[in-house]
Amino acid sequence: MSRFWKIALIVLAVIVVAAVGFRLLHKPGGSAASAAGKEGGDATPVPVTVVPVVRQNVPVYLTALGTVQALNTITVNPQVAGLLLSLNFTEGQPVKKGEVLAQIDPRTFQASYDQALGKRSQDEALLATARSNYDRSQDPKYSQYVAKIDQVTQKNTVTQYQAAVAADDAAIRDAKVQLDYTQIHSPIDGLAGIRGVDPGNVVSTGTAIVTLTQLHPIYVMFSLPEQNLDLVRKAALGATPLQVTALDRVDAHAIASDGVLKVIDNQIDATTGTFRLKSQFPNSKNELWPGQFVNVRLLVNTVDGGLVIPAQAVQRGPDGDYVYQVQADSTVKMQPVLVAGEVGDSHVMISSGLKVGEQVVTEGQFRLKPGSKVNALKPGQVPAAPTAAQLDKAKKDSKGGNMRHH
């Protein structure tokens, strides 16, 4: 008896499920209505934004991360030791070549210079006496009374004092150089950094007074993969230097666009597989700063007549990139394309799959499938509002559909 009731319950459950399924399949507005709705939806054109494929000259760029480097960076050190009396520059401000940056106590060096001058005066007097004696010994009136050996001695004495005066001149020049070193001059036009010592300290030749950086022009160093070496070298053979643009690391806007490539390094780094390049910018407005990181864009070529479309038109599928192309009957098809590269921030260049003038969808792709009928709109254009006749027709179609379901 228990087994019988189990079988009966199973049969009853099957009957209930079948009845529910039958009612769902034949419910007004169910599958048939859905199918009809889909057919009606397919018949209604989908408004989409389309643009034509255009032909234009497309610049080809290589990009990399770069570091700004000053043209010259000089640490100013004293060339003589002594008491630092003053600093004559303002931190962070420009200085001119030859401008006095600092003053060291000159008194000791002034005394050495004066002593060298005195020694030369002394030797010049001795030289004058020796020359006078020698000239007298050569006079015919007295030469017969002067022994030959004395004449030779007098001549050698003149030579000796001439050498002493020459040595004194050298000592004076040396003393003058040391005295001049007590004034520390700027070797370049540059920007002064933070001072390394305060006035009142005794400085030596190892003391850093200040670091100067030359910002006009300025270098940007960057590296590229070794597979780009041939491309860059061939492009650099032209008469015009390759153009380089420095971009901000944050929002990628151009900081400086007037740079040129100056140097391609003579070797590839075996560790990283890259080679270094040096570019130069005028930096007239101090847009670039030493140590700054920038994105570098190197122009290596320009493709004449490249096919360009908006980047948003390109979709990614399991078989690669494709676009929705509008056909002559206002339907769309999925057209495979091959993207050759980016063109600015909003467009791409297509190497195959499209021709000039063909229309591609840029907005509204999510509502499309192959064969969908579309209402092609220009960028910024909106669909026209339905007319009264169209609204009435839509109402009649809706009522007719409801009647057919009932």
What CATH number did the domain enclosing 237 receive?
2.40.30.170
Look at residue 30 in the predicted model and tell me its pLDDT.
43
Residues 175 and 223 in one domain: no
Judge whether 325 and 358 are in contact, CB under 8 Å: yes
208 within domain boundaries: no
349 within domain boundaries: no
Provide the residue range defining the domain that includes 149.
Answer: 72-203
User: Which of 11-20, 258-267, 301-310 shows the highest mean pLDDT?
Assistant: 258-267
66 within domain boundaries: yes
Last residue of a domain, one of 141, 171, 203: 203
Residues 199 and 224 in one domain: no
Residues 151 and 188 in one domain: yes
Look at residue 136 in the predicted model and tell me its pLDDT.
73
Residue 201 has pLDDT above 80, yes or no: yes
Residues 168 and 101 in one domain: yes
Look at residue 32 in the predicted model and tell me its pLDDT.
39
Question: What does the pLDDT average to over 313-324?
Answer: 91
Last residue of a domain, one of 250, 267, 299: 299
Last residue of a domain, one of 175, 203, 231: 203
Residues 163 and 97 in one domain: yes
Question: What does the pLDDT average to over 206-227?
Answer: 95
Residue 142 has pLDDT above 80, yes or no: no
Calpha distance 14→8 (Å, rounded): 10
Packed helices 388-405 and 31-43: angle between N→C axes, nearest 10 degrees:
160
Q: What is the CATH number of the domain that holds 108?
A: 1.10.287.470
Q: Which of 21-30, 174-183, 287-296, 360-369 has the lowest mean pLDDT?
A: 21-30
Residues 239 and 252 in one domain: yes
Q: Which residue did the predictor score with more confidence, 138 or 107?
A: 107
- Quote the distance between the C-alpha of residue 339 and its chain's center: 25
Residues 92 and 77 in one domain: yes
Residues 66 and 85 in one domain: no
Number of folded domains in the chain? Answer: 2
User: Which of 22-36, 148-162, 206-220 shows the highest mean pLDDT?
Assistant: 206-220
